[in-house]
Amino acid sequence: MNIFEMMRSGELHPVIFFLTIEMLAIAALCFLLARTKGRNRLLATLTGILPGVNILALIYYVGVPKLEGEKP
């Protein structure tokens, strides 16, 4: 059965569908930003999945500076 037919018939609520897509997209963005800035990727992904916290996590990872490498 098509996802859109399931939403139309009421088997799948549209909010659940779009919330899932939004959570996955923001988690992926948080992961990519954490990887490029040298931050914890697992923590970034987990905070990107949590609804409500994910927008704040995305704002944090956009604004946080890049970590400098360790100097010997």
4 vs 34 pLDDT, higher one: 34
| pLDDT value, residue 72 | 46
Q: For residue range 26-52, list pLDDT tens digits in order.
A: 999 999 999 999 999 999 999 999 988
**Cβ 28 vs Cβ 48: under 8 Å:** yes
